[in-house]
Every structure is written in structure tokens, then in C-alpha cells.
Amino acid sequence: MATRFGIIGCGYVGSAVARHFRARGFELTGTITRPDRLSELCSLVDHPRIYRAGDAFADVSFFDRLDGLLVAVAPQSGHYCLEQYDAVYRSGVNALASVLQRRSSSSPLHVTYLSSAGVYGDQRGLPCNEDQSPDVSSGQNAALVSAEQALLNLASPSVQCAVLRLGGIYGPNQDIPTMIRSAAGQRVAKNGDHINAWVHRDDIVRGVDFAFEQRLSGIYNMVDDLQLSRRELSHALCDSDGLPPVLWDAHDKPGARIFNARVSNARLKALGFQFAVPSMLEPVAAC
């Protein structure tokens, strides 16, 4: 019997995971929230569904038939206010966790949840790993951590859950290096001294596969090896093309959500995971 896998949120990453698992012969159920994307979803999965976590009238019986589940939800592009974070990560993911808790099936289920390394917040550029407490001074971070905990609390003899904290995503159709180069010589109103984390989309896909196959549980940083400040990264990219530097601010805007940490990926590597794209400054290897 084919492995039965569900993907809640077939966006940029979820769709790539669907293509990967379809190539492996999995029987896929995938969900979206927008009806206008239904025809696109039909070409990706065997059982397409329009589903919004928290919908009291949604048919959730499909969860009973799954061997694995990816939760890859996010606010709609451009809607990153606190209200949207609360709606998606507090109300939505907590409702999803309640549905999974009430599954009528006791068959084994592995859940992978895509969170954000941004929850480490302002660590003043110091190294941090999964044992570091998140910085929940930001309402957005608090909502993300709430979602993590809601799914981690599902752990039982029949349910395992892995949280992958992602860096900023780059990859096909999300060419961050080109976007940075396009700002050469221009002023950008962000603190250039902050260190961000990054990860290639294809490594996220491989990480979801790895988490499912290894039945990982707990929290893992899914970030590549790059640990440069915005200023250092843009200098490296612009210098290689003979472009003038990006002009970053050296201060934070009042009330800004801050992410400034050297996030370690050592825990995942210690389990045998290898990044196909160690850094956006290096060529993409065959995945």
C-alpha cells in the first residue's frame, strides 16, 4: 500500500514537497484555502481539498487515513500583521491540533510543522541552538511558538511531531541574491548589522522527507551554514558583480521585530542530514 501523506498548505514550499513525494509514489492529500487555486492543486495531489484550520464545518475525516502530515501554513503574502499571525498560528494551528487530537484512528502518524528561526529574535548576533529560549517579546514570535507547542503537545505512542525552524527561504522563483543585488547603491531601511538565517527551498523539501523517514520528534533548526550580517552578505554579492554596496541603516526602527542570531544547524547535521545548498553564496548542488 502506498504511503498516505497530507500537506496542509500547498504554497511555495508545500507544493514542492507534493511534487517530491508524488515522485516517490506517495498517495497525497493536499489543502489550500483559496478556491481559485483548486485546479492547480489537482495537478499536484491525489486528493485536493479546500480547508481552513478552525472551520467548524470542514470534513476532517481524511486525517484518520494519513501516515504522515506536513503543516506548512502562513499568512497570505503581504499580510504579516499581528492579527494575521494570531489567526493563522494561534487560532488556526491550535484548532488543527485539536482535530488531530480527536482522530478516530490510533494508527501511527508523523507530523512535521514548518516554523521559523525568527522565533530566536534578538540574540545580539550571538550563537544559538534549539536549547535557546525563543524571544517572545514580539507578538508574531509568541504566536509562532504557540503553534509549535500546540503540535508538540500531540506527542503520544501513536503521534510523533517534528518542528523545523526555517531560515529565510530562497530558491526557484524566490531569488534572494538577485533581489539584494538589485538594491546595490540604494538605501534600505533595515539594520544591516543584524545576522539572519537562510535556507534553500529544496533543502526544506529534503528536510521534510528526512524528518518523516527518521520519525524525528522535537525541534530542529533548518537553516543553512551562512551566518553573515545583511551588510556582509550584500557586500559579498555586490562585490562579486562589481556593484556598489547596499546602503543599510545601522539602527532599528522603533517597534520593529528583530531577528539577529547565529542559528546553529548542528543538531540536524548530527543525525546525518546534509545540506545540498550550504549557502546562497555557493552553487546549488544536485538534490
Q: What is the pLDDT of residues 188-222, one digit of tens each?
A: 999 999 999 999 999 999 999 999 999 999 999 99
3-class SS of residue 275: coil
Q: Give me the pLDDT at residue 264, please.
A: 98
| Residue 284 scores a pLDDT above 80 | no
Q: Give me the pLDDT at residue 285, please.
A: 52
Domain residues of the chain, as ranges?
A: 4-169+198-227+259-270
Q: Give me the pLDDT at residue 71, please.
A: 98
CA atoms within 13 A on the CB side of 86: 5
| Residue 283 scores a pLDDT above 70 | no
Q: In what order do the strands lie in the sheet with 159-166?
A: 47-50, 27-32, 4-8, 68-71, 109-116, 159-166, 218-222
Among 207, 140, 198, 209, smallest CA distance to 174 is for: 198
pLDDT range class, residue 105, cuts 50, 70, 90: confident
Question: From 3.30.565.10, 3.20.20.120, 3.40.50.720, 3.40.220.10, which CATH number describes the 4-169+198-227+259-270 domain?
Answer: 3.40.50.720
| pLDDT mean over 255-273 | 96
| Alpha-carbon span 56 to 95, nearest angstrom | 9
Residue 8: enclosing H or E segment and its boundaries? Answer: strand 4-8
Q: State the chain's mean pLDDT as an integer.
A: 94
| Residue 106 scores a pLDDT above 90 | no
Among 224, 221, 196, smallest CA distance to 122 is for: 196
pLDDT range class, residue 282, cuts 50, 70, 90: confident
| pLDDT mean over 169-185 | 95
What is the grid cell recorded at 253? Answer: 526602527
| Alpha-carbon span 193 to 197, nearest angstrom | 13
